[in-house]
Amino acid sequence: MSSVHVKAALTEAREALDNLLADEAMLAEIDRAGEIMAEAIRSGRRIYSCGNGGSLCDAMHFAEEMTGRYRKNRRPYAATAIADASHLACVANDFGYEEVFSRYVEGVGQPSDVLLGITTSGTSRNVIRAAEAARAKGMKVISLTGKPGNPMAALSDVAIVTPGGRYADRVQELHIKCIHIFIELVERRLDPENYRDE
């Protein structure tokens, strides 16, 4: 019986990926996100990422792949996940959890920096507040969400809404694929020698 559930889970995941592959407009948005990120790095700007729970883990994964390495060695790219425990605890205690990301953006964000906001529902208030703060500072906002017509998408310069299905796990699985593609797109634009042997 358990193998039935395994197959059902993998089939649902495959269907979600197929749905994304079939959405040419969304694929173009993913490419545009990579272009915006690459231009920010090329111009000496920084990318900030944020999210809650698994989305925060994805935000951290994105930043460490940017500052560390992806597939091959290259220079580090300026990226920071808003994930410092002392900052999050301080702001949550003093201002409320809705402000944990926006306070950071207000403190360190600069015009033409980029915010990558990750929220499967597109309704996480603290990620939305971060997007509002980023826009007020003249930053670009890229969002990864999972439900059409969400408020986070409405605040974004590039809104990538992945068709994950009923639950957040399928959405998150597509988000990590998008994150890896973002990094590859940035590398292809800024360090194309990493791809010359393909």
pLDDT tens track for 180-195: 999 999 999 999 999 9
Q: Would the annotation count 5 as a binding residue?
A: no
The lowest-confidence range among 1-5, 22-26, 52-56, 131-135 is 1-5
Tell the CATH superfamily of the 2-195 domain.
Glucose-6-phosphate isomerase like protein; domain 1 (3.40.50.10490)
Q: Would the annotation count 87 as a binding residue?
A: no
The predicted structure's pLDDT at residue 23 = 96
Average pLDDT score over the chain: 96
pLDDT band per the 50, 70, 90 thresholds, residue 2: confident
Q: Would the annotation count 175 as a binding residue?
A: no
Q: Would the annotation count 194 as a binding residue?
A: no
The per-residue b/e assignment along 115-150, b for 16 or more CB within 10 angstroms, e otherwise, is bbbbbbbbebbbbbbbbebbbebebbbbbbbbbeeb
**For the segment 105-122, what is each residue's pLDDT rounded down to a tens digit?**
999 999 999 999 999 999
